[in-house]
Amino acid sequence: MKFNFRPIGLEDREAFRRYLDACPQVTSDYSFINLWSWSDVYGLEWAWTDALVWILQQRPSLKYWAPIGAWSAVSWAAQFAWQETAPLEFVRVPEVLADIWQNVLGDRVTVTADRDQWDYVYAAADLIGLKGNRFHKKKSLVSQFEKKYVYRYEAMNTALADKALALQDDWCAWRQCASDVHLADENRVIWKVLSNWEFLPGVTGGCLLVDDMVAAYTVGELVTDDTLVIHFEKGCPDYKGVYQTINQMFAAHQPSGLIWVNREQDLGDEGLRQAKMSYHPERFLEKFKIVVRR
C-alpha cells in the first residue's frame, strides 16, 4: 500500500474525530489541535485509510507517529505489508499500541521507553479543590492572588484571544524566545491557535483579567468526554499566584463530567518536570519509541 500524505487541514477536524474516538488510548499528542497547530514546526502530514490515519513527521528528521484508529480491530501484519526493507521509526507511541505491536509483530519491533514524552494526568477534583496538605502551598497562592488583586475570570473568546496575544508577546520578551528555538517554535504555535480562535470550535480556554488586561491565559481541548488536555498556559510573573489561580479556575469552569486533566509531557525539562510533579499526578500515559523491521 502506498500512502498519499497531505497537509493537516482544519476541514478534516470532524472526520479525524471519528478515528480518535475509536482509539483505545488517547494521549495529548493526537488531539486535533495539537496535530494541526504543530504541523508547521514538525512538518506533520497525514494519510487516511478506511481503518487508520497515519501521521508522518518530516522535521527535524523523518519519523512516524502512532497511526490513529481502532487499533484492536486492525490486522497489523496487513497494515505493514507495504513496508520495504528499511526499518520504520515511530515516536510518541502510546502504551496500549506498543503492547499490541509487541504481541502481534514479535521480533519485528524494538520498543524503547520515552519518559520525556509521558503525559501527566491529574484528577480534576484535585486541581479544583486543592484539598489537604499536598496542595496547601498551591491553595495558599490562589488565596493570596484572590485577596490582592481585583480580577475576573472569563472564558476565552475571539476578542480575549487578541488580548492574550499581547500577554504572549510580553511573555516571550521576558523569556527571550528569540534566542531559544523551542520557545520560538511554541510561540509560533500559540499565535497560530489564538489567531484562528473563531475557526476552532473544538478548542476551549480561559483568561484571568486584572485592570482589563490578561494576566494569565490557558488553552485546552476535550479529547474525550471526561478528559481535558491543557495545551498552553502563560501568566504574567508580576502577579504572585497567577499560574496556580488560572490552573484552578480553568478546571473549575469545565463541564461537570470532567474527571481527568492531562497536562501533557515535560520533554525532559527538569524545571517543568518538578512543576508537573508538584501537582501530584494520579497517573501517567506512557509512550515509547518503536522501530518496526521488515
pLDDT of residue 84 exceeding 80, the answer is: no
CA dihedral 247, 253, 255, 256 (to 10 degrees): 90
What's the pLDDT tens digit per position in 198-251?
999 889 999 999 999 999 999 999 999 999 999 999 999 999 999 999 999 999
Strands, sheet with 203-210, edge to edge from the N-terminal-most edge strand: 151-155, 203-210, 213-224, 227-235, 260-262, 119-123, 283-285
Question: In which residue are the cell numbers 520504520 written?
Answer: 88
User: Which amino acid, one-letter code, is at 245?
Assistant: T
User: Of 27, 44, 28, 48, whose CA–CA distance to 36 is shortest?
Assistant: 44
pTM score, whole prediction: 0.96
pLDDT of residue 143 exceeding 80, the answer is: yes
pLDDT of 3: 87
Q: Provide mean pLDDT across the span 106-112.
A: 96
DSSP string, 27-86: -GGGSHHHHHHTHHHHT-EEEE-SSEEEEEE-SSS-EEEEEEE-GGGS-HHHHGGG--SS
Task: Map out the domains of the chain with their CATH numbers.
Answer: 6-118+287-292 (3.40.630.30), 120-264 (3.40.630.30)
Q: pLDDT confidence of 288, banded at 50, 70, 90?
A: very high
Q: pLDDT confidence of 41, banded at 50, 70, 90?
A: very high
Q: pLDDT confidence of 196, banded at 50, 70, 90?
A: very high
What's the pLDDT tens digit per position in 237-262?
999 999 999 999 999 999 999 999 99
Q: Cα separation of 80 and 53, whole Å?
A: 14
